[in-house]
Structure 1
Amino acid sequence: MTNLVILVGRIARDPETRTTGGGTKITQVTVATDRPARKEGKTFKDENGYTVKDSEFHRVTCFNGLGENVAKFCTKGQLVTIEGRIHYTQWEDQSGAKRYGCEIIADKVDFLSKGKAGGNEAAPDIDED
């Protein structure tokens, strides 16, 4: 059995890091992916001639060292590849209603572009053709 996710997308907002009571560092980031929108089974263009896109936003969680690197080197708008697994959660809210969540637990994050200036000059070099 396999639970494998590979996403290529842009960071939708700057990473947020917190530390648990046990000392585990958790960094969360939202990654946006696009795909061509479909109407009646076909892709279509907007009034400017561009293919209309549907965007999806994925919650990605990174732990410890990986999370530290993501927090240090990633910024909003940066192109990344995420490899990891889908994780589902279930809980009851204050009113007793069942709630469900879904996130990607990252095992690997590759930086496909540099972030905004001033944020990651020390980031590893990227092979840009």
Structure 2
Amino acid sequence: MKDKYNPVVYFEIPVSNIDRAIKFYKSVFNFTFEREVIDKNEMALFPFAEESSGISGALAKGEIYKPTNDGVVIYFKTENIDKTLKIVIENGGQMLYPKTSNEELGFVAEFEDSEGNRIALHQSSN
């Protein structure tokens, strides 16, 4: 029998302009980034705390990274979807899917970031 675990351990969000993307995500979520070059690709690493649950990732700029509205959807946790969506729009993003109840799990919404990626939000019901 296999151990139970969360299978996703890391993500990368493709960007065309890494400075613009850092500014967008810092404005929307107040994230701080650590910049690195990995395999000739510019990376801005999201915060990560080993002792916390969840995963982390990076904004990634390079030949192989193409922003898209049609790929994998990543959900960011937020305390207030309405407030977060307002900040998204103020910073050049667009709402793609309005705040919607996910029954007892809380609420979800989707937006397009500064680079053209579809990103989702999740707000717990408690």
More helix by share: 2
Q: TM-score, normalised by structure 2?
A: 0.26
More strand by share: 1
* Larger gyration radius, structure 1 or structure 2: 1
Q: TM-score, normalised by structure 1?
A: 0.25
